[in-house]
Amino acid sequence: MVGPRTLTYYPGVARATIYQRSYRGKGKQTDYHFDVCLWTCERPLLFLHLFPLSLFIALNMASILQKLITPLFSGTPEPARNKVTVVGVGQVGMACAVSILLRELADELALVDVMEDKLKGEMMDLQHGSLFLKTPKIVASKDYSVTANSRIVVVTAGVRQQEGESRLNLVQRNVNIFKHIIPQIIKHSPKCIIIVVSNPVDVLTYVTWKLSGLPKHRVIGSGTNLDSARFRYLMAEKLGIHATSFNGWILGEHGDTSVPVWSGTNVAGVNLQTLNPDIGTDADQENWKDTHKQVVDSAYEVIKLKGYTNWAIGLSVADLTESLIRNMNRIHPVSTMVKGMYGIDDEVYLSLPCVLNAGGVASVVNMTLTDDEIGQIKQSADTLWDIQKDLTDV
Amino acid sequence: MYCHTPCGPWSTVVHYTWNRVPLGMQTKPDLCDELCLIDVMEDKLKGEVMDLQHGSLFCKTHKIVGDKDYSTTAHSKVVVVTAGARQQEGESRLNLVQRNVNIFKFIIPQIVKYSPNAILLVVSNPVDILTYVAWKLSGFPRHRVIGSGTNLDSGRFRHLMGEKLHLHPSSCHGWIIGEHGDSSVPVWSGVNVAGVSLKGLNPDMGTDADKEDWKHVHKMVVNGAYEVIKLKGYTSWAIGMSVADLVESILKNLHKVHPVSTLVKGMHGVKEEVFLSVPCVLGNSGLTDIIHMTLKPEEEKQLSNSAETLWGVQKELTL
């Protein structure tokens, strides 16, 4: 594929480039515009037939351009500093993309997928909203070169479990997909931080870490960030307060065996377990344990009702992205490499409270867990390792 | 500044004198749809209103007005009162009291006359006493008279805690309650990060025996205002932002928990009719609920001591 720089020096194309720049007003928009034209044509030589057309247009438009705008700076445009890539434009991927756009986190957004029409349609739909956004460049391609120099890459690609399919089989199918995706991401953005969202997230974060060769602090799984958000919302509803005023953490595996840390639940520093020592146990008269059960079931419930979940996960990923891009040192429960903690000897990824900043996972908070909670986490680790050890080519 | 909207529920009123509190509220440009400034100093008032209006392009508040006459404040949803003399260098908050009570005797009835359903948010110092005064003078039910209280002290504490632990303040949880001032109470047992109680990790926290000297963090919070006043003459930005935070919870009906000044008679051993800061739930009807903190005996004692001191001052006031 011919790069944009080469095109601008081509005699016939040069005119067309000027025309397009004055139309858009910015050098980089011009490059992009031409890229797309070539991409849809798919054959570099095709632009030869545009030469007379572009010349004709350029010669006629040049006078309006020259009257209207005087370019002052025509050097290489500055590269994007906060580029975010989203791999996979399904419901979850698009929810992540939109949440990131609305939070004004990125100065460039790249989308990648294998389904070309869907990809182009989604990209155009977002671009058409440009008037209302602060992200000036939205690109998309099947080709990973469009993701070059990203700071954050959100991976939502993968297949869903078929009926009756074993988890191991699902994982192996997704491993094969990741074997194609991850090396391409790293090739074009060697300094990025990867956020893995695809399920089963803990196993796939491990897979991503292995395939990418990145240091462990730059591979993060969205983990129980969403479970904790659901927990805080449900608990806060019961107490009549806002979710942000309820503090509670769910750790461990993102899924059926997540661990609610009842000892840490508090409102305004008032520890709930101190008010009700039975909280979270079967003996609890108020049955607070049910709230955690609701969290575990909530994904299935939403899927049953609307077919998939996307908004909450999209918003939670944007929240993580914000801490990373804005270097905030905020704490989130995300999936990280936990070997060596809580007596875990295997290389598994589980969710613990992590401090996130521009470098990735800066540190992990040592939670004071009960023996029972530690036992549950260790059990999750064992289950995950059981699956991971049988994966091939990782 | 205050907002007046006959058509919408979003209004904010701030009575403004010598205080740049309103500008802190510009950090949340989508909060209210009408803003009104009231003051006795007409030129200063007009200048400030014009300056804000010139920023309209960059704001989402379509109407900014200012007048000496309180009729412009009619139908406000929230009235933020920052009027009064400000602390001089070295002056304690209690010294300001009678000066500010006389000002309030003029302001409050006028606010009530034009916005009988408003929520009063008192910022002027000494805030706990003046919230009591505003409550008495307005005749409003207690859930509609709120003092900005220790919302700012807790904000300062969480900032200093964040610096100490290299974390963002929003991930550091700590509550300062009681009097907004020298005798505020840091609730060490509640201080936590990610649900991990810091006092559980360091039982000496907050005592003189503590090697990490966390007590000094609280001392810096108490001295924070004095330090800033010494350096730049007044404090404005942090208090403005903390007030905007409270107003947001009220106008957007968030039911968020904030440490604000409310009537605490009957709680934590307080027998007098005084206002002190405790964690409260704020929504669009005002202060809807109070969170009961489990305090240590010495913390409760500190609160009841504050209450006695405040009552000692309040009972001498002519209202």
- Give tens-digit pLDDT for B76-95: 889 999 988 776 777 766 66
Place A3 in a pLDDT band, splitting at 50, 70 and 90. very low
- Amino acid symbol at A373: E
Q: Which helix (H) or strand (E) holds A191?
A: none
- Per-residue pLDDT at A2 exceeds 60: no
E strands present in A142-225: 152-155, 193-196, 219-221
- For A294-331, how does the pLDDT look when each residue is reduced to its tens digit (9 = 90+)? 998 888 888 888 888 899 999 999 999 999 999 999 99
A304-323 residues touching B, CB cutoff 8 A? 323
B245-304 residues touching A, CB cutoff 8 A? 249, 254-257, 259, 279, 281, 288-289, 291-294
Of A56-60, A229-233, B238-242, the range with the highest mean pLDDT is A229-233
Among all residues of B, which ones are annotated catalytic? 180
Rounded Cα–Cα distance for residues A59 and A325 (Å): 44
The answer to whether A266 and A247 have CB atoms below 8 angstroms apart is yes
pLDDT at A314: 94
Retrieve residue B274's tokens: 């005084």
Distance from CA of B58 to the nearest CA of A (A): 15
- Average pLDDT, stretch A242-258? 91
B70 versus B25: which is more confidently predicted? B70
A14 versus B284: which is more confidently predicted? B284
List all residues 6 or more positions away from B117 whose beta carbon is below 8 Å from its beta carbon: none
Q: Determine the distance from the C-alpha atom of residue B14 to the mean position of all C-alpha atoms in its chain, rounded to a whole number.
A: 12
Scanning the structure block, which residue is given the tokens 């037939």? Answer: A49
pLDDT at B49: 85
pLDDT at A161: 66
Q: How far is CA B21 from CA A365, B242, B249, in A?
A: 37, 9, 17
Rounded Cα–Cα distance for residues A265 and A364 (Å): 19
Q: Do A275 and B294 touch (CB under 8 A)?
A: yes
pLDDT at B146: 97
B29 versus A126: which is more confidently predicted? A126
- Per-residue pLDDT at A38 exceeds 60: no
Q: Which segment of A68-72, A155-159, A268-272 scores lowest on mean pLDDT?
A: A68-72
Q: What is the CA radius of gyration of chain A?
A: 24
Mean of all residue pLDDT scores within chain A: 84
Q: What is the CA radius of gyration of chain B?
A: 19
- Average pLDDT, stretch A27-43? 39
pLDDT at A49: 57
Rounded to two decimals, what is the model's pTM?
0.79
- Per-residue pLDDT at B7 exceeds 60: no
pLDDT at B50: 84
- Average pLDDT, stretch A341-363? 95
Q: How many CA atoms lie within 13 A of B14 on its CB side?
A: 29
Three-state secondary-structure class, residue A240: coil
Q: Which of B260, B259, B164, B166 is nearest to B218 (CA)?
A: B164
- Per-residue pLDDT at B211 exceeds 70: yes
The answer to whether A303 and A309 have CB atoms below 8 angstroms apart is yes
Retrieve residue A81's tokens: 């500093």
Q: Which of A182, A110, A180, A123 is nearest to A150 (CA)?
A: A110
The answer to whether A262 and A280 have CB atoms below 8 angstroms apart is yes
Rounded Cα–Cα distance for residues A162 and A268 (Å): 44
pLDDT at A33: 38
Of A268, A275, A365, the CB nearest to B257: A268
DSSP readout, chain B?
Answer: -B---SSSS--EEEE-SS--HHHHGGGSTTS-SEEEEE-S-HHHHHHHHHHHHTTGGG-S--EEEEESSGGGGTT-SEEEE--SPPPPTT--GGGGHHHHHHHHHHHHHHHHHH-TT-EEEE-SSSHHHHHHHHHHHH---GGGEEE-TTHHHHHHHHHHHHHHHTS-GGGEE--EEE-SSTTEEE-GGG-EETTEEHHHH-TTTTSTT-TT-THHHHHHHHHHHHHHHHHHSS--HHHHHHHHHHHHHHHTT--EEEEEEEE-TTSTT--SS-EEEEEEEEETTEEEEE------HHHHHHHHHHHHHHHHHHTT---
Q: Which residues of A144-175 are buried (b: 16+ CB within 10 A; e: fewer)?
A: bebbebbbbbbbbbbeeeeeeeeeeebbbbbb
pLDDT at A12: 38
- Average pLDDT, stretch A257-281? 93
Give the residue on A whose Cα is nearest the Cα of B291: A268
pLDDT at A72: 80
Q: Which of A277, A290, A214, A225 is nearest to A252 (CA)?
A: A225
pLDDT at A52: 61
Retrieve residue B193's tokens: 């990060």
pLDDT at B319: 79
What percent of chain A is modeled with pLDDT above 70? 82
pLDDT at B43: 84
Query: Is B200 touching A (CB cutoff 8 A)?
Result: yes
pLDDT at A59: 57
DSSP code at position A82: S
Retrieve residue B86's tokens: 């400000």
pLDDT at B240: 87
* Catalytic position from the list A188, A254, A292, A332: A254
Bridge-based pairing state of the strands B176-178 and A250-252? unpaired
Retrieve residue A61's tokens: 């438009």
The answer to whether A154 and A125 have CB atoms below 8 angstroms apart is no
The answer to whether B138 and B112 have CB atoms below 8 angstroms apart is yes
Which of B187, B197, B246 would you mutate first to test chain A, the one with the most A CBs within 10 A? B197
Q: Determine the distance from the C-alpha atom of residue A142 to the mean position of all C-alpha atoms in its chain, rounded to a whole number.
A: 17
- Per-residue pLDDT at B41 exceeds 60: yes
Helix then strand count (H, E) for chain A reads: 13, 14
pLDDT at B32: 73
- For B253-277, how does the pLDDT look when each residue is reduced to its tens digit (9 = 90+)? 999 999 999 999 999 989 999 999 9
A378 versus A10: which is more confidently predicted? A378
List all residues 6 or more positions away from A303 whose beta carbon is below 8 Å from its beta carbon: A309
Retrieve residue B217's tokens: 């963090």
- Per-residue pLDDT at A149 exceeds 60: yes
List all residues 6 or more positions away from A46 whose beta carbon is below 8 Å from its beta carbon: A38
pLDDT at A45: 52
Of B191, B196, B292, the CB nearest to A365: B196
Q: Do A331 and B173 touch (CB under 8 A)?
A: no
C-alpha dihedral sign at A344, A345, A349, A355: positive
pLDDT at A239: 93
- Per-residue pLDDT at A40 exceeds 50: no
- Per-residue pLDDT at B109 exceeds 80: yes
B293 CB neighbours in chain A (<8 A) are 268-270
Mean of all residue pLDDT scores within chain B: 85
Query: Is B41 touching A (CB cutoff 8 A)?
Result: no
C-alpha dihedral sign at B233, B239, B244, B247: negative
- Per-residue pLDDT at B30 exceeds 70: no
Rounded Cα–Cα distance for residues B2 and B114 (Å): 12
C-alpha dihedral sign at A291, A294, A299, A305: negative
Place B237 in a pLDDT band, splitting at 50, 70 and 90. confident
- Per-residue pLDDT at B2 exceeds 80: no
pLDDT at A23: 36
Q: Which helix (H) or strand (E) holds A344?
A: none
